[in-house]
Structure 1
Amino acid sequence: MIDLPSLLSAFMVRTIGHGDLSGLARLSGGANMESWAFDWAGGAYVLRRAPSADYMAGRPYGHADEAALVIAAHGAGVKAPEVVGVLADGDGMGTGYVMRRVIAEVNPAKILADPPPSLLTDLGRELARIHAIPAETIPAAIPLMDTVAALAELKGRFLDYGGDRPVIALAIKWCEDHLPPPAAPVLVHGDYRMGNIMVDCAKESGGLAVVLDWELAHRGDAHEDLAFGCMTVWRFGRIDQTAFGVGSLAEYFAAYEAAGGVQVDRDRFRFWLVYRTLWWALGCLQMGQAWRNGADPTVERVVIGRRTAEQELDLLLLLEVEAPAVERGRALPPSSVAHSAPTGEPTNGEIVQAVRDWLGDAIKPQAEGHGKFQVAVAMNALGIVMRDLDAGVRAEDHALAAALLSGAVTLAQPGLLAKLRRAVLDKCAVDSPKYAALARARETWGAQE
């Protein structure tokens, strides 16, 4: 365990000048990297870091290039953070960089509860600015995405993870059959969505304050960025507001084009909406693998690994239009039979519930900051286990997945769509029962809880 306050103080003296470190606290957000807020010499800052080289394994570029990209974006007038210093090996804190801290709201639920009137226009404008960053200012390490190769890599990962999730196989085959021709490359942020932006929520003068998390940036198709923030999962419950949970796609596209962005191609946008939903489904499975192989032993990884069910539900909602009308109107098969009420000694599920209740009653009220977040994640994990023990639902079907992946079976097969609908509903009810799209899918498909 390093002495982070001492090491960070020494770094700030060398970078900014003398001062006193105060308010050092780990922020709860960030799925992969640590973020630490602190004050120094009257200014507010954030340290973004990876504790060791293991955290950066497999990434196309490191924090030095990421920082250089953020500096280039800031210099081009994008609302990117202001980088003040980059960690070196001798600083003893791993890899990363320090930015000036922007004081604004990052919680999607709070932003979407009452978004500033200008927010959707701001989001379209800012993305157009990102896509217009001069190519010569982008670090050479920032890769160019080859969509064909990227899709093949996703397919390879799916097979490595067992190749046994039918809806993922269906999505891979659809993407292979609908690959768009290459587009003129621009800088793609790669993670442009609610949760990675900060917003000044003042009703009249508020708006987008800063764009965070540039670690997935690459050069590629502008439509990839346009689609990502419009995925159902990143609308955080406001699924009728198809652009970021804030407004309509038409409004968003108009704002983007008015600010100089490329003319939006709806078919290309649809491809990237499916592709990125598929990408996140496999990203969730990858999180589970990271826990299983010891690369990241946190409870958060295990829980995110079970969010694959959300993306399978969304993928089926996106792709079911490919099925014949008679199949889209077919009634669902019943769910598996529920277990009888327990008697006698406590069941495994009751023991798990007792531990979960104890965490909520005794531990969570006393926790603070990132610790409170971790307790909430642990309680969520135990909730999944409780529901899974009762339902006994599995998503794997290797034979069906292989048939869909090869194209030997399609959604035209009688009864297949209804079977897939029932499977994703039951799995999502176990893993993410509060997912907003689950209730919508039940209503649309005529299912009961």
Structure 2
Amino acid sequence: MGDASKDTLIEGLARVCSRAGLTEPSDLTRLTGGATMESWRFMCGDRAFILRRAPTLEFMANRPFGHDVEAEVIRKAVAAGVTAPRVVAELEPEDGIGSGFVMEALPGTPNPKEILEFEDTDALLKDVARDLARIHSVKPGDLPDAVPVMDYRQAIADLKAQFEEAGGDRPIIALGLKWMEDNCPDPCEPVLIHGDYRMGNLLCEAGELTGVLDWELAHFGDPHEDLAFGCMAVWRFHRYDRPALGLGSLEDYFATYEAESGRTVDLGRFRYWLIHRTVWWALGCLGMARIWRSGEDRMLERVVISRRTSEQELDLLMLLEEDAPEECKAKQKWWPISSPDRTNGDATVSEILTAISEWLGTIKDQVKGHDRFQLAVARNALGIAMRDEEFLPDLHVDKRRADAIMAGELTVAERGLVGHLRRAALEKLSVDSPKYPALAVALEKWVIPEEEAE
């Protein structure tokens, strides 16, 4: 059902809507984004709804629970006062359009760039903290047993297995995994964890939270996991300077959360989960290439997201080097490799890719909806390929060094290690994502300005 036509979807939706007491669906439109699940907007009369759907039934096979349980999680969250959409119906096999559910469309935008430019982000941050506290009010026993309870140590073991499957050759990720093994906190009383509580999954309008979306990663665990995940540098987008979701300060975020939840935020546990989820997302990005290679899902976003691993490696190193001795953290010389002057002969690979990207730019106004989003992703992919072909050494791949870190033989206290990993992170990210906001912060923190290095 992954390639179902609009007509097929409309026919299936008509059966779903009839069962839910709604009128005939119309104006079905694929929403942009969605590297995992598909989202489609449609109308029933003057009311708007969203179809959330797996691209294939096989796609759901290895997930801890299905869409029926996800729908129940959302219903329980709404009952707890969370600003989440109301689920009106789940898809059934006889509907013929796969696995998923239909929910009411809520007002607002999920676009982080728009949200982070709102005037009153302080009020929005309070809304976000309030809703997170309400999510955490749900306990095991309130939901079906299919919603898993996280075993922290098993979660680390699973990430280590992913790391080895991906080659086990990225020293910065190895450093994070070893740190997690050495610093894993004791379990606490589990609460419902959204699992993906961040900018991009929050609908907002006029400075207010209007919806919490994408509950597929829900589980029971440590509330600090949710608190930390949204505060990762990657989810602050262009507002790196606002550590709480790109909206404001951690102090304000924690104060509202503590007042609403009755819990006290433990800064040590918060740091653990900030590192844990940075490693988790680094490996999630890395694994996208494997999914694409296998043929399981050949979406263009897969290969591009795989190159965002370097963003997480840079963020992870900045977190981990806090534990290094001061003498290992001095600024160093580093300049990006210069582009070679190749103005003669036949076209280089980089010039061919540039020509393709320029041509794609000429047809931008001729495509719409999800195809327009895919075109932008394609041009980003070509940019990565151009920079890779011209600049990238393989400093970031080092199986022997990664193995030594995992064995505890190399730590951040080893003279020269932090400096080597810094250079590797800078060079890789300069190719993969040169506009990533944390890159400028890392350059300021790590590199001696050229005029001072002479």
- Partner residue of 2:148 out of 140, 143, 147: 143
Q: Is 1:169 aligned to 2:170, yes or no? A: no
| 1: CA distance, partners of 2:237 / 2:335 | 29
Aligned pairs for 1:338-377 (under 5 A) are 338-361=339-362, 363-377=363-377
| 2: CA distance, partners of 1:63 / 1:23 | 24
The aligned residue for residue 297 of structure 1 is: 298
Report Cα offsets for 1:277-331 as digits up to 9, x if no partner.
0000000011111101111101100000000000000000101112111110152
| 1: CA distance, partners of 2:448 / 2:357 | 29
| 1: CA distance, partners of 2:399 / 2:216 | 34
Q: TM-score, normalised by structure 2?
A: 0.95
Is the Cα contact below 8 Å between 1:60 and 1:142 reproduced in 2? yes
The aligned residue for residue 87 of structure 1 is: 91
SS in 2 for 1:263: coil
Q: Is 1:68 aligned to 2:72, yes or no? A: yes
Is the Cα contact below 8 Å between 2:18 and 2:24 reproduced in 1? no
| 1: CA distance, partners of 2:194 / 2:119 | 22
Is the Cα contact below 8 Å between 1:185 and 1:221 reproduced in 2? yes
Letter in 2 for 1:71: R
In structure 2, the CA distance between the partners of 1:383 and 1:261, relative to structure 1 (3 Å rule), is farther
CA drift at 1:342 = 3.8
Letter in 1 for 2:388: D
CA drift at 1:448 = 6.3
SS in 1 for 2:316: helix
| 2: CA distance, partners of 1:166 / 1:259 | 40
| 2: CA distance, partners of 1:447 / 1:366 | 46
Report Cα offsets for 1:395-428 as digits up to 9, x if no partner.
2111111111111011222221111111100000
SS in 2 for 1:90: helix
Report Cα offsets for 1:125-145 as digits up to 9, x if no partner.
111000002543312110000
Q: Is 1:28 aligned to 2:32, yes or no? A: yes
The aligned residue for residue 392 of structure 2 is: 392
Aligned pairs for 1:22-421 (under 5 A) are 22-116=26-120, 117-201=122-206, 206-332=207-333, 338-361=339-362, 363-394=363-394, 395-421=396-422
Aligned pairs for 1:8-19 (under 5 A) are 8-17=13-22, 19=23
| 2: CA distance, partners of 1:207 / 1:261 | 23
SS in 2 for 1:404: helix
CA drift at 1:68 = 1.0
SS in 1 for 2:141: helix
In structure 2, the CA distance between the partners of 1:383 and 1:104, relative to structure 1 (3 Å rule), is same
| 2: CA distance, partners of 1:340 / 1:406 | 44
| 2: CA distance, partners of 1:274 / 1:115 | 31
CA drift at 1:47 = 0.2
Is the Cα contact below 8 Å between 2:334 and 2:448 reproduced in 1? no
| 2: CA distance, partners of 1:448 / 1:351 | 34
CA drift at 1:341 = 2.6
| 1: CA distance, partners of 2:64 / 2:321 | 35
Is the Cα contact below 8 Å between 1:333 and 1:418 reproduced in 2? no
CA drift at 1:30 = 2.1
| 2: CA distance, partners of 1:44 / 1:8 | 13
CA drift at 1:71 = 1.0
SS in 2 for 1:13: helix
CA drift at 1:10 = 2.5
SS in 2 for 1:247: coil
| 2: CA distance, partners of 1:147 / 1:112 | 33
Letter in 1 for 2:142: T
What's the C-alpha RMSD, in Å, of the aligned pairs? Answer: 1.5
Tell me, which stretches of 5 or more residues in structure 2 are unaligned?
Answer: none
Determine what percentage of the aligned residue pairs are the same residue: 51
Letter in 2 for 1:26: R
| 2: CA distance, partners of 1:153 / 1:24 | 39
Q: How many equivalent residue pairs?
A: 443
CA drift at 1:14 = 2.1
In structure 2, the CA distance between the partners of 1:367 and 1:261, relative to structure 1 (3 Å rule), is farther
| 2: CA distance, partners of 1:74 / 1:126 | 10
Q: TM-score, normalised by structure 1?
A: 0.96
Is the Cα contact below 8 Å between 1:25 and 1:38 reproduced in 2? yes
The aligned residue for residue 441 of structure 2 is: 440
| 2: CA distance, partners of 1:383 / 1:337 | 16
| 1: CA distance, partners of 2:337 / 2:167 | 24
SS in 1 for 2:40: strand
Aligned pairs for 1:418-429 (under 5 A) are 418-429=419-430
CA drift at 1:16 = 2.0
Superposed structure 1 runs of 4+ greater than 4 Å apart: 333-338
SS in 2 for 1:104: coil
| 1: CA distance, partners of 2:79 / 2:168 | 44
Is the Cα contact below 8 Å between 1:335 and 1:422 reproduced in 2? no
Letter in 2 for 1:14: R
